[in-house]
């Protein structure tokens, strides 16, 4: 007896309500853009400069007291949030204190962290500082730039690779799906105001990788079916390819989600944002393969002239998988 | 048909065995770590308990996955070396030479005065009208060729005249060469200072043109690390012009006002150009003066000794100042000519202070100031929590995926599970072999790999299922399944691998750790899917010869 997530044989028509799905995606994209424009992102210190201090104490967290202790130092905008995690015992209270970069300073303020420590110690005796991180505005500006370059470079590289291995229509479909996934992930971070730091960029690139993985598997089958069923309409070829690979799509998404969800629940609060981004990305990536990448492929059409099988003979990439 | 050559089978098993063997030490992390430390200490000739080295057999590999700062705790600093500081020092040291040269030619150029200028320029005003060009010509003779690959034929200073001013600046080639030297020197000094404290496995790396990345595991805080590195530990010996108690005393150009270290309210007016700097020290030791108070003895290199000797011979009876970090430690009066190039610094030191000062002097002064761009401290308990949480998440994810695969694919799922276990083993083996650093995002990368590693197997199994419907017999279905799934596996994994490579190339720190585990995870998962599971399936098939197949 086997566990089956998808019936053995499916012949669902994924394009019967395609306008609806495309509309849905566009709506989500607009919402993301609106949120980004109005609320922006909750940038971490990696991107905005400043200092974060993680404190730990056995006493109940009194944010007001912390705030009062730090008010005298005149550090400008300070945010103090309590961190929760199922693994914390009853006598473990963790707070994250975020201090903005002080104006006119290129680097980390000399001695300021020491002042903050002393101020907090005077209020909470048993306070411990489990992590203190400071990034100067000079570096944070560069980090944003390199992060953006990394994401664009990854997409560019992928575009070129798929273009070489498939047709340009496939590459466009795959990359539009990637952009869709990345934008929606940024959107969700904007809506939920989850801290957006360097690790999230790594997550974005992983999403790029995962979403692509998914897209490529279906495109590979589309390519195969295009050769096999020369007279079948493109829409049917796409449907066939998606149905044939559906079981695999779901299986892999589920195993990956199993792993990620166990990490969200048990992996501790430090990387929760990072793992959340990846989880979201897996869901969006799976969705976009079918409803974005394939839809675009259908719209663009594909060269169906396989009558000359030797057309690709001279292409050095044609036989990579042989 | 369905077969793999014997030599290939042997190769596959050997690779798997080698990978697992390399991964083995990580299962006994703390034990192997102690043994490795002991062995390293023994090799360095340190007196340690030799029995501690026998905790791990010497014929087994002992490479471990390095733990990143976010897992082990420690401090991280990114500093920018203020290379321009050196230009200023160069200009200051050029002034006495220029002064002596032009004084000798007073008849032609007239009186000379040092002008206020930008830190990287030397501006001298000459008395005679039209004398500036002559003076510039004289100063130009002081130029020396730049020693560098790119600046062949260039000289180190550029001299021009403007009205009655002679302006001296460093040439472009010299600046490049100086920057390079400054950075190397800073790197070396920082390394020596950190080694002096004796923490283990510090990372001290150059980044870009003028930055240095310092990571020291196990250190309490970034502040502590900064204190060890010292921000501007500059030792100089400067002639004293006079002494004052007025902090707002207006100094003439070429002079500076420096407070005393231990006499409250006392300021010294010193000539800016030092006689000798700490760079010319070869040794310094804590010692005691004739009154048995803690002091620091020092010795100069030959050129420093000559300068020091000449100066003391010419200025007997005059005070001179020992300046550390812009504070006068002491300003003794020169009693006699000191020819040997060694001396003693006295002051109100405690024994500990004199020891620290000696260490600081021995390690050498940093040639330029440091600006701290980024500092991070991770407490060891937070690191330990992260490892613990990561470990549990890994095990749970692992078990859940194993059960899920077994339920979905039955016997073939078991094969995939064996491959998955081998896969994680190989991944750790590779990480140990490369001495890669595992970070918290890196652990997430491993978990993601566990989830995605089954993908290749899933692709193959699903394909075999499909082929079973059309192909003739199970053997053919298995063969076709592997054959036809290959192109999707290759394409899908290459694209993911591309993103891992880009992450590795561009990312830093934790992100890089993630890229490493993700990239290596792809390599090992493809290997296990297309070789290990295939071998398992074929071995099973050869033994059973089933007529029907259920995947």
Domain assignment of residue A32, yes or no: yes
**Strands in B171-293 per DSSP E:** 203-207, 211-217, 235-244, 255-259, 267-271, 276-277, 281-288
Decide if A107 and B450 are in contact by the 8 Å CB cutoff: no
Burial-class residue B34 by CB neighbours within 10 Å (0-12, 13-18, 19+).
middle
Residues A61, A186, single domain; the answer is no
Q: What was the pLDDT predicted at A211?
A: 86
Shortest distance between the Cα of A181 and any Cα of chain B, in A, equals 15
Q: In what helix (H) or strand (E) does residue B378 lie, and over which residues does it extend?
A: strand B370-378
CATH of the domain at A152: 1.20.1640.10
B233-347 carries CATH number 3.30.1360.200? yes
Q: What was the pLDDT predicted at A319?
A: 47
Residue B6 to residues B20, B113, B542, Cα–Cα distance (Å): 21, 89, 13
How do strand A42-43 and strand A195-196 relate by DSSP bridges? parallel
Dihedral pair phi/psi, residue A172, rounded to 5°: -60, -45
Query: Does residue A2 have a pLDDT over 80?
Result: no
Contacts of A149 in chain B (CB under 8 A): 506
Interface of B with A in 383-422 (CB under 8 A): 385-386, 389-390, 392-393, 396-397, 400-401, 404-405, 407-410
Residues A37, A162, single domain; the answer is yes
Mean pLDDT of A104-123: 75
Domain assignment of residue A60, yes or no: yes
Q: pLDDT band at residue B131, thresholds of 50, 70 and 90? A: confident
Query: Does residue A110 have a pLDDT over 70?
Result: no
Q: What was the pLDDT predicted at B414?
A: 92
A175-191 pLDDT, tens digit each: 899 999 999 999 999 99
Assigned CATH class of B84-175 = alpha beta
Contacts of B384 in chain A (CB under 8 A): none
Considering only CB atoms, B393 lies closest to which of A153, A251, A266, namely A266
Contacts of A83 in chain B (CB under 8 A): none
Residue B179 to residues B78, B143, B269, Cα–Cα distance (Å): 18, 18, 30
Domain ranges of chain B: 65-71+381-544, 84-175, 233-347
CATH of the domain at A93: 3.30.70.260
Query: Does residue A305 have a pLDDT over 70?
Result: no
B78-90 pLDDT, tens digit each: 999 988 888 887 8
Token pair belonging to B255: 């002079």
User: Helix, strand or coil for residue B324?
Assistant: strand
Residues A116, A149, single domain; the answer is no
Q: Which of A111, A130, A136 is nearest to A46 (CA)?
A: A136
Residues A152, A112, single domain; the answer is no
Mean pLDDT of B203-232: 82
Q: What was the pLDDT predicted at A314?
A: 44
Task: Pick the residue from chain B with its C-alpha nearest to A132.
Answer: B377
Interface of B with A in 424-453 (CB under 8 A): 440-441, 443-444, 447-448, 450-452
Q: Which of B367, B360, B276 is nearest to B321 (CA)?
A: B276
Considering only CB atoms, B518 lies closest to which of A206, A259, A265, namely A206
A83-98 pLDDT, tens digit each: 888 878 888 889 999 8
Residues A166, A291, single domain; the answer is yes
Mean pLDDT across chain B: 83
Tell whether B328 lies on the interface with A, counting CB pairs under 8 A: no
Burial-class residue A274 by CB neighbours within 10 Å (0-12, 13-18, 19+).
buried
Buried b (16+ CB within 10 A) or exposed e, B189-204: bbeebbeeeeeeebbb
User: Residue A317 has what DSSP assignment?
Assistant: T
Q: How many domains does chain A have?
A: 2
Decide if B488 and A107 are in contact by the 8 Å CB cutoff: no
Residue B345 to residues B237, B296, B305, B537, Cα–Cα distance (Å): 11, 5, 15, 79
Q: Which of B316, B323, B370 is nearest to B345 (CA)?
A: B323
* For helices A63-71 and A112-123, angle between their N-to-C axes, nearest 10 degrees: 130
User: Helix, strand or coil for residue B435?
Assistant: coil
Token pair belonging to B299: 């010795």
Residues A152, A93, single domain; the answer is no
Q: Give me the interface pTM, i.e. the ipTM.
A: 0.83
Burial-class residue A86 by CB neighbours within 10 Å (0-12, 13-18, 19+).
exposed
B377-436 pLDDT, tens digit each: 998 888 888 888 888 988 998 899 999 999 999 999 999 999 999 999 999 999 999 888
Residues A224, A96, single domain; the answer is no
Residues A162, A58, single domain; the answer is no
Domain assignment of residue A318, yes or no: no
Residues A149, A130, single domain; the answer is no
B344-375 pLDDT, tens digit each: 877 777 777 777 677 666 666 677 888 888 88
Rg (CA), chain A: 25
Token pair belonging to B367: 């040639």
List the end-to-end C-alpha distance of chain A, in Å, as a whole number: 35
Considering only CB atoms, A258 lies closest to which of B80, B401, B487, namely B401
B171-205 pLDDT, tens digit each: 888 888 888 888 887 887 888 778 766 666 788 88
User: Residue B333 has what DSSP assignment?
Assistant: B
The fold of B65-71+381-544 is: Multidrug efflux transporter AcrB transmembrane fold (1.20.1640)
Domain assignment of residue A33, yes or no: yes
B20-66 pLDDT, tens digit each: 999 999 888 888 888 888 888 787 776 677 777 777 888 888 888 88
Interface of B with A in 501-530 (CB under 8 A): 502-503, 506-511, 514-515, 518
Domain assignment of residue A2, yes or no: no
Contacts of B458 in chain A (CB under 8 A): 248, 251-252, 255
Contact by Cβ (8 Å): B338, B40 = no
Residues A185, A57, single domain; the answer is no
A30-70 pLDDT, tens digit each: 999 999 999 999 888 888 888 889 998 888 888 888 888 88
Which residue blocks in B230-317 are alpha helix, DSSP H? 302-314
Query: What is the CB neighbour count within 10 angstroms for residue B285?
Result: 16
B443-488 pLDDT, tens digit each: 888 877 887 778 889 999 989 988 888 877 888 888 888 988 888 8
Q: pLDDT band at residue A280, thresholds of 50, 70 and 90? A: very high
Which domain, by its residues, includes A87? 50-134
Q: What was the pLDDT predicted at A34?
A: 95
Q: What span, in angstroms and rounded, lies between the C-alpha atoms of A255 and A266?
A: 17
Buried b (16+ CB within 10 A) or exposed e, A151-167: bebbbebbbebbbebbb
Q: What span, in angstroms and rounded, lies between the C-alpha atoms of B491 and A271?
A: 30
Considering only CB atoms, B371 lies closest to which of A107, A274, A275, namely A107
Residues A224, A75, single domain; the answer is no
Q: What was the pLDDT predicted at B360?
A: 65
Matching fold, domains B84-175 and B233-347: yes
Contacts of B374 in chain A (CB under 8 A): 108, 134-136, 139
Residues A260, A287, single domain; the answer is yes
Give me the torsion for CA of A170, A176, A179, A184, rounded to 10°.
Answer: -120
Mean pLDDT of B207-221: 86
Q: What was the pLDDT predicted at A15?
A: 86
Instruction: Supply the DSSP string of B464-489, one letter for each residue.
Output: HHHHHHHSSHHHHHHHHHHHHHHHHH
Residue A90 to residues A93, B276, B443, Cα–Cα distance (Å): 8, 62, 27
User: Helix, strand or coil for residue A57?
Assistant: strand
Q: Which of A57, A152, A215, A267 to mutate to test the interface with B (most CBs of B within 10 A)?
A: A267
B300-322 pLDDT, tens digit each: 887 888 888 888 888 888 888 88
Q: What span, in angstroms and rounded, lies between the C-alpha atoms of B442 and B203?
A: 18
Question: Is this structure's pTM higher than 0.90?
Answer: no
Instruction: Supply the DSSP string of B133-182, one letter for each residue.
Output: HHHHHHHHTT--B--SSS-TT-BSEEEEEETTEEEEEE-HHHHHHHHHHH
Q: What span, in angstroms and rounded, lies between the C-alpha atoms of A107 and B80?
A: 9
Tell whether B494 lies on the interface with A, counting CB pairs under 8 A: yes
Q: Which residue has the higher pLDDT, B369 or A23?
A: A23
Q: Which residue has the higher pLDDT, A237 or B346?
A: A237
* CB proximity list for B122: less than 8 A, separation 6 or greater: B91, B94, B95, B98, B114, B167, B168, B169
Q: pLDDT band at residue A105, thresholds of 50, 70 and 90? A: low
Shortest distance between the Cα of A131 and any Cα of chain B, in A, equals 4
């Amino acid at each position: 007896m086997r566990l089956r997530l998808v019936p053995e044989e499916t012949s669902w028509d994924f394009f019967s309500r395609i306008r609806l799905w495309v509309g849905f995606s566009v709506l989500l994209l607009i919402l993301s853009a609106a949120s980004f424009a109005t609320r922006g992102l909750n940038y971490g210190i990696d991107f905005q400069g400043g200092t974060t201090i993680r404190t730990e104490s056995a006493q109940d967290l009194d944010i007001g007291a912390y705030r009062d202790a730090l008010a005298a130092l005149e550090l400008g905008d300070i945010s103090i949030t309590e961190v929760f995690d199922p693994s914390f015992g009853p006598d473990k209270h963790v707070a994250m204190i975020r201090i903005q970069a002080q104006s006119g300073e290129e680097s980390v303020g000399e001695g300021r962290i020491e002042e903050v420590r002393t101020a907090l110690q005077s209020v909470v005796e048993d306070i411990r500082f489990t992590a203190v991180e400071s990034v100067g505005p000079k570096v944070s500006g560069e980090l944003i730039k390199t992060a953006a370059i990394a994401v664009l470079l990854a997409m560019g590289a992928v575009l070129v690779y798929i273009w070489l291995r498939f047709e340009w229509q496939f590459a466009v479909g795959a990359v539009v799906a990637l952009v869709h996934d990345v934008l929606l992930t940024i959107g969700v971070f904007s809506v939920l105001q989850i801290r957006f730091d360097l690790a999230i960029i790594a997550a974005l690139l992983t999403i790029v990788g995962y979403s692509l993985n998914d897209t490529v598997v279906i495109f590979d089958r589309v390519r195969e079916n295009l050769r096999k069923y020369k007279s079948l309409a493109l829409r049917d070829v796409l449907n066939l390819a998606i149905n044939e690979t559906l079981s695999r799509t779901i299986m892999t998404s589920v195993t990956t989600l199993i792993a990620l969800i166990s990490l969200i629940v048990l992996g501790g609060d430090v990387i929760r944002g990072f793992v959340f981004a990846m989880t979201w990305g897996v869901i969006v990536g799976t969705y976009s393969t079918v409803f974005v990448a394939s839809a675009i492929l259908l719209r663009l059409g594909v060269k169906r002239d396989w009558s000359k099988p030797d057309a690709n003979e001279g292409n050095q990439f044609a036989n990579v998988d042989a | 048909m369905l077969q793999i050559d014997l030599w290939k089978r042997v190769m596959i098993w050997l690779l798997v065995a080698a990978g697992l063997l390399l991964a083995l030490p990580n299962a006994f992390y703390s034990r192997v770590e102690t043994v490795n430390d002991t062995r390293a200490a023994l090799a360095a000739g340190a007196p340690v308990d030799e029995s501690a080295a026998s905790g791990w057999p010497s014929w087994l590999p002992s490479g471990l996955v390095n733990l990143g700062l976010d897992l082990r705790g420690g401090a991280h600093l990114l500093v920018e070396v203020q290379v321009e500081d050196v230009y200023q020092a160069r200009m200051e040291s050029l002034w006495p030479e220029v002064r002596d040269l032009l004084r000798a030619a007073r008849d032609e150029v007239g009186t000379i005065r040092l002008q206020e200028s930008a830190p990287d320029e030397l501006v001298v005003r000459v008395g005679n009208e039209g004398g500036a060009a002559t003076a510039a010509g004289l100063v130009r003779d002081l130029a020396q060729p730049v020693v560098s690959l790119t600046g062949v034929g260039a000289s180190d200073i550029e001299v021009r005249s403007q009205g009655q001013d002679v302006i001296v600046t460093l040439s472009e080639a010299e600046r490049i060469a100086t920057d390079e030297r400054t950075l190397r020197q800073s790197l070396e000094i920082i390394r020596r200072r950190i080694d002096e404290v004796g923490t283990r496995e510090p990372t001290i790396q150059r980044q870009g043109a003028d930055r240095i990345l310092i990571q020291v595991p196990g250190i309490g805080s970034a502040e502590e690390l900064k204190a060890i590195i010292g921000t501007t530990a500059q030792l100089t010996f400067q002639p004293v012009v006079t002494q004052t108690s007025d902090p707002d005393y207006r100094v003439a150009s070429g002079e500076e006002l420096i407070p005393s270290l231990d006499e409250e309210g006392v300021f010294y007016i010193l000539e800016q150009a030092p006689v000798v700097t700490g760079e010319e020290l070869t040794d310094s030791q804590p010692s005691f003066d004739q009154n048995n108070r803690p002091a620091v003895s020092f010795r100069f290199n030959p050129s420093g000794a000559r300068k020091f000797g000449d100066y003391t011979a010419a200025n007997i009876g005059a005070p001179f100042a020992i300046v550390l970090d812009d504070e006068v430690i002491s300003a003794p009066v020169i009693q006699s000519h000191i020819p040997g190039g060694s001396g003693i610094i006295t002051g109100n030191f405690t024994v500990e202070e004199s020891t620290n000062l000696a260490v600081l002097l021995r390690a050498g002064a940093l040639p330029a100031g440091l600006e701290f761009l980024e500092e991070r401290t991770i407490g060891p308990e937070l690191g330990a929590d992260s490892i613990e949480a990561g470990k549990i998440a890994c095990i749970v994810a692992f078990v859940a995926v194993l059960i899920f695969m077994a339920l979905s694919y039955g016997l073939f799922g078991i094969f995939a599970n064996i491959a998955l276990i081998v896969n994680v083993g190989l991944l750790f083996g590779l990480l140990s072999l490369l001495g890669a650093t595992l970070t918290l995002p890196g652990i997430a990368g491993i978990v993601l790999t566990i989830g995605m590693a089954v993908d290749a197997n899933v692709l193959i199994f699903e394909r075999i299922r499909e082929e079973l419907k059309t192909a003739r017999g199970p053997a053919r279905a298995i063969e076709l399944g592997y054959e036809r799934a290959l192109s999707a596996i290759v394409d899908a994994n290459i694209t993911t691998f591309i993103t891992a490579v880009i992450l590795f190339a561009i990312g830093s720190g934790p992100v890089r750790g993630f890229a490493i585990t993700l990239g290596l995870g792809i390599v090992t998962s493809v290997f296990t899917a297309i070789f290990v599971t295939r071998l398992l399936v074929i071995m099973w098939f050869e033994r059973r010869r089933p007529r029907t197949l259920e995947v």
